[in-house]
Amino acid sequence: MDFFIITSFTKDISRIDLIGILLGHVIFAVALTMLLDWTWLKNLMSEEDKKRMLKSYTWKDLLVDGAIFAVVLGIIFLIISIFL
Domain boundaries, the chain: 2-83
pLDDT tens digits for 39-57? 777 778 888 888 888 888 8
Contact 78, 12 (CB under 8 A): no
User: Which position has the higher pLDDT, 55 or 2?
Assistant: 55
User: Which position has the higher pLDDT, 81 or 70?
Assistant: 70
Contacts of 80 (CB under 8 A, 6+ apart): 18, 22
Let me know how many helices (H) and strands (E) the chain has, helices first.
4, 0
pLDDT for residue 1: 47
